[in-house]
Amino acid sequence: MRPNVNVKNRVAVVGAGLTLFRRRLLETPQELAWIAAKQALQEAGLDFKDVDCVVSGSAPDAFDGVHMKGEYYVEGVADGKPHVRVYVGGGTGVFVPVAAWWHVASGLCKRVLVLAEEKMSSAAQPHPQAVFKHIWDPLIEKPLNPNLIWIFAMEMHRYMYRCGVKKEDIALVSVKNKRNALDHPSAQAAGRITVEDVLNSEMLVYPVNRLDVSPVSDGAAALVMVSEEWANRLTDNPVWVEGIGFNLDSTNWTNRDLSFPVYVRRAAEMAYRLAGVTNPAKEIDVVEPYDPFDYKELHHMEGLGLCAPCGAAKLTREGLTQRDGELPTSPSGGLLGVGNPIAAAGLMKVAEIFWQLRGEAGARQVKKDAVTGLAQAWGDLMQVGTVVVMRR
């Protein structure tokens, strides 16, 4: 990390935890949060009493059905501790460690429990999609009664047209990620599928088929982030958070060219400056881009500067994004394979980079000697970008 007078402490991740990702888990939000937190603390060699601060994140309160649910799901986890919940839509899962970084780097806290929880299954009937009825501009958009699949179909279509990308190229992402998830113990939607399976699955809104989309999920994830002093006490193998980035674009998504995620590029540039990364395509060894839809993995790789605009489909087609490729991408299996409890899914990606850089990803371990990794998430009306760069 480049010297910065405002950074008092270098920040490391020393533990991670993850629940199963499933639809209709029987555990309560509080139980999910506690299970993930306990795992992360055990991996770090700490207990709840050792935590100075808790930083958490979750998507809209409507998912768990509890108003101000941040105060609800940390019961038994943050009792008597300073606690703050952050929320930037789908970008939340990577924004939680960004906010935790502030707490440690500033010197406010030395040992921070980082938590993300989501319980979507019971949000609304017949489908949690109904929660998103209330995110639209009440005058311009809501009279059209849109839903998220519609606008992402428009974005996917625009990306395909602008970049000359075929549906077959995009489907390769779903095939790869669901296969990678076969090695993930928390995975909900792993499988061996083909491009034809994706193309022949139910058409939701052209060009989006059912197997282009991640599932509805419940789950929780947690990290332990500490100061350099505590990292050196706790482990010989810390993973340093070297760069953080976040950006918010206009809510007027209809006025933007949807073929390129400018908000991701700006967030990545911020993280790269802090981490001293000048050529991400050469310096990032393993990446977990946000993939709630298969085309979004390609879209986000381009926004992250890991290839030229419109160049991600070629990398995927040529196998460079496989676990044994030059740029292993979503080795966890991503949201498409592991599942998509929104905030927890983003933090799952940070946890995966942590395990990959420690060489502890088991059957998911990438072939190359990965030193630098990146996790990214995206949210709201195609406007939030959040990025974390980590090194061992």
Mean pLDDT score, 212-221: 96
The structural domains of the chain, with segments of one domain joined by +, span: 11-125+214-391
Work out the pLDDT band at 5, boundaries 50, 70, 90: low
- Helix, coil or strand: residue 251: coil
Are 331 and 180 spatial neighbours (Cβ–Cβ below 8 Å)? yes
What secondary structure letter does DSSP report for 90?
B
Q: How far is it between the farthest Cα atoms of the chain?
A: 58
What secondary structure letter does DSSP report for 123?
S
Tokens 């009792």 sit at which residue?
Answer: 79
How do beta strands 53-57 and 111-119 pair? parallel
- For helices 148-163 and 294-303, give the axis angle rounded to 10 degrees: 60
Are 201 and 210 spatial neighbours (Cβ–Cβ below 8 Å)? yes
SS3 of 323-385: the string is CCCCCCECCCCHHHHCCCCHHHHHHHHHHHHHHHHHCCCHHHCCCCCCCEEEEEEEECCCCEE
How far, in Å, CA of 249 to CA of 266, rounded? 10
- Helix, coil or strand: residue 389: strand
By C-alpha distance, which of 236, 220, 254 is closest to 113? Answer: 220
pLDDT value, residue 71: 87
Question: What is the percentage of the chain residues whose pLDDT exceeds 90?
Answer: 80
Answer yes or no: is pLDDT of 378 > 80: yes
Which pair of structure tokens corresponds to residue 125?
């009937």
pLDDT value, residue 63: 80
pLDDT in tens, 296-334: 999 999 999 999 999 999 999 999 999 999 999 999 999
CB neighbours of residue 258 within 10 Å = 18
pLDDT, averaged across the chain: 94
Work out the pLDDT band at 380, boundaries 50, 70, 90: confident
Which pair of structure tokens corresponds to residue 290?
């946000």
pLDDT in tens, 104-160: 999 999 999 999 999 988 777 777 778 888 788 888 888 988 888 898 999 999 999
Q: Which fold has domain 11-125+214-391?
A: Peroxisomal Thiolase; Chain A, domain 1 (3.40.47)
Answer yes or no: is pLDDT of 203 > 60: yes
Q: How far is CA 133 from CA 11, 55, 136, 221, in A?
A: 39, 28, 7, 27
> Whole-model pTM above 0.75?
yes
Mean pLDDT score, 89-107: 96
Question: What is the percentage of the chain residues whose pLDDT exceeds 70?
Answer: 98
How do beta strands 111-119 and 218-227 pair? antiparallel
Work out the pLDDT band at 382, boundaries 50, 70, 90: confident
pLDDT value, residue 4: 62
Q: Is 308 exposed, middle or buried (0-12, 13-18, 19+ CB in 10 A)?
A: exposed
Answer yes or no: is pLDDT of 337 > 60: yes
pLDDT value, residue 251: 85
State the Rg of the chain over Cα: 19
If one compares 60 and 199, the residue with the highest pLDDT of the two is 199
Are 335 and 21 spatial neighbours (Cβ–Cβ below 8 Å)? no
* Torsions phi, psi for 113 (to 5 deg): -90, 125
User: How is 151-175 classified by DSSP, letter by letter?
Assistant: HHHHHHHHHHHHHT--HHHHHHHHH
Q: How far is CA 323 from CA 181, 183, 210, in A?
A: 12, 12, 25
pLDDT value, residue 216: 92
How far, in Å, CA of 219 to CA of 200, rounded? 29
